Amino acid sequence: MTEEFPVRVHLLSHARRLWAVVLAFVFAVAGISVVASVPAYADATCSGGVSVYGVLPDGRLTYTMIDPDNGNIQRVVVSSKTLGFTAKAMATLNFNTILITSTGGVLHRIDVITNSNSLTFNDPVAINGGWTHNLLTYDGHGHLYGTTSSGTLLQYLVSRPKPSDVHIGQRREIGDGGFTLKTLAAAGDDRLVATAGGQLISYAINDSGGYKRSQLDDAGWSSFENFVSPGGGLYYGKNPDGAMYWYEDGDPTDGSGTDITYHLNDPVASRGWTQYLLSADPTTCKATAPTNTLRKRIGDVATGEIGQAEHSCDKYHERCDRGDLHWCAMFATWVWQTAGVQGVPRGTFVARGLGEWGVDRGLFKYRSGAGKGSPKIGDWVIYGPPDGGGGGHVDVVTAVRPDGTLTVVGGNVNDKVTRKTIDPDTYRSGAGNYLISGYVSPPGA
């Protein structure tokens, strides 16, 4: 018995992506505008601020320090001196050492003198030629990675904090090609994270030169021109409009994107990042044990049911009777219970009744106000007023994408369990063709 009304999904526009930015102050440093925002929270263990170096179109270097706990910018300095060559790719080795290639294929080492109240550096040291890589990144544990125009991923051993030519070697080709990437960053020891074709991808490199590819998200990441990581599951992505967003991966080693937290309402900056190259110091942060695995389990359980047909819906509740009753609420409560949520209202068979249950317990997040409900993985999506009335629909959030869209999984959709990506501002569903009224957070998450 189908209660879903298909509606065409449109990606959010640039204006929509920035609807929730709260501007606390604006300051300018050598032509760079930085917009700070209200605090959020992160879980990575960091020895200090996140250090991000960049290159401006005129050849000057920039240094930005970001608070890893709330995404706020702590300091921005810009060099008066230029590199003296046109930069193509860069990788930060440590707090005061950067590797940058020129468009002519020469690898340079940049030794930073200070990045405190000003940014100064020694004249670039030319290390060697033949470095025609499109992208570079350093994992903080001795391995430099680069991609070529043919889609080859190369690994190099870096044996000194400030290397010369003899300290960068043991060139090794990883896999057999297929690394045509838009962005590349290192998330940890031989752990890479990249974007390509709108996807967010993780690569775990092994000692023999092989790798395991994991798709963290299958869409929504195409807008980023730059993507960097200081380790610890913190990711930063810069859009062409100069906005910088940040994300937390609860466990960057698990090959899953269901535990990524999206701070779409609280970007690092809503504009002003005009650098065309960016690279983060990879030695600052390390991953800690995930503090909230419940939401990840909910997302994994829901995703694992995709494609289950209506005639099997008794799995979700004996009252389903092979689809004689609307069963979207049965599916949603089953997912929560299976993932380990306590006190799930398994006897509520009406989607809007689950919304009412959330309201009564202070778990309902209305889509009114600047936060628009701040949906998270594991939340129930309630279509229609949360008043216990008939009609409507309920889905489970399995991904919150950088462009503001949601990936949701729901039962009783076209007579099966279905996954779809929606614009939460415009998508309608269920008997009554309702918009989303809000989200219900799982207790204990």
> Tell me, what amino acid is at 135?
L
Nearest in space to 415 (alpha carbons), one of 36, 2, 58: 2
> Tell me, what amino acid is at 391?
G
Q: pLDDT-based confidence at 328, cuts 50/70/90?
A: very high
What value does the mean pLDDT take over residues 166-173? 95
Share of the chain above pLDDT 70, in %: 89
Tens of pLDDT, residues 361-397: 999 999 986 668 889 999 999 999 999 999 999 999 9
Tens of pLDDT, residues 191-241: 999 999 999 999 999 888 899 999 999 888 999 999 999 999 999 999 999
- Tokens 């004249």 correspond to 123
**38 has pLDDT over 70:** no
What per-residue confidence (pLDDT) applies to 111?
99
What SS3 state is found at 218?
A: coil
DSSP state of 95: T
What per-residue confidence (pLDDT) applies to 35?
38
DSSP state of 142: S
Check the CA dihedral 269-43-344-217 and report its sign.
positive
Distance separating alpha carbons of residues 286 and 295, to the nearest angstrom: 22
Distance separating alpha carbons of residues 278 and 174, to the nearest angstrom: 24
The pair phi, psi for residue 150, each rounded to 5°, is: -90, 0
**19 has pLDDT over 70:** no
Q: Does residue 78 or residue 13 have the better pLDDT?
A: 78
Distance separating alpha carbons of residues 317 and 444, to the nearest angstrom: 23
Distance separating alpha carbons of residues 157 and 168, to the nearest angstrom: 6
What value does the mean pLDDT take over residues 141-170? 96
Q: How far from the centroid of its chain's Cα atoms is residue 436's Cα?
A: 24
Distance separating alpha carbons of residues 219 and 236, to the nearest angstrom: 17
DSSP states of 2-61: ---------PPPHHHHTTTPPP--EEEETTEEEE---------EESSPEEEEEE-TTSEE
Distance separating alpha carbons of residues 228 and 215, to the nearest angstrom: 17
> Tell me, what amino acid is at 359?
V
Distance separating alpha carbons of residues 416 and 294, to the nearest angstrom: 25
**93 has pLDDT over 60:** yes
Q: How far from the centroid of its chain's Cα atoms is residue 427's Cα?
A: 23
**Tokens standing for residue 145:** 């990675």
What value does the mean pLDDT take over residues 26-55? 60
Distance separating alpha carbons of residues 380 and 55, to the nearest angstrom: 43
**29 has pLDDT over 50:** no
What per-residue confidence (pLDDT) applies to 20?
31
**187 has pLDDT over 50:** yes
What per-residue confidence (pLDDT) applies to 349?
96
Distance separating alpha carbons of residues 382 and 354, to the nearest angstrom: 8
Mean pLDDT score of the chain, rounded to an integer?
88
Tens of pLDDT, residues 118-155: 999 999 999 999 999 999 999 999 999 999 999 999 99
**108 has pLDDT over 50:** yes
Q: What is the pTM of this model?
A: 0.68
Q: pLDDT-based confidence at 417, cuts 50/70/90?
A: very high
What per-residue confidence (pLDDT) applies to 372?
81
What per-residue confidence (pLDDT) applies to 3?
45
Distance separating alpha carbons of residues 77 and 234, to the nearest angstrom: 22
- Tokens 């240094």 correspond to 63
What per-residue confidence (pLDDT) applies to 290?
54
Domain 31-286 superfamily per CATH: Tachylectin 2 (2.115.10.10)
* Residue ranges with strand state E in 256-357: 260-262, 277-280, 285-286
CA angle, corner 269, sides to 268 and 270, nearest 5?
135
Distance separating alpha carbons of residues 147 and 136, to the nearest angstrom: 7
Window from 243-247, 379-383, 403-407 with minimum mean pLDDT: 403-407
**28 has pLDDT over 60:** no
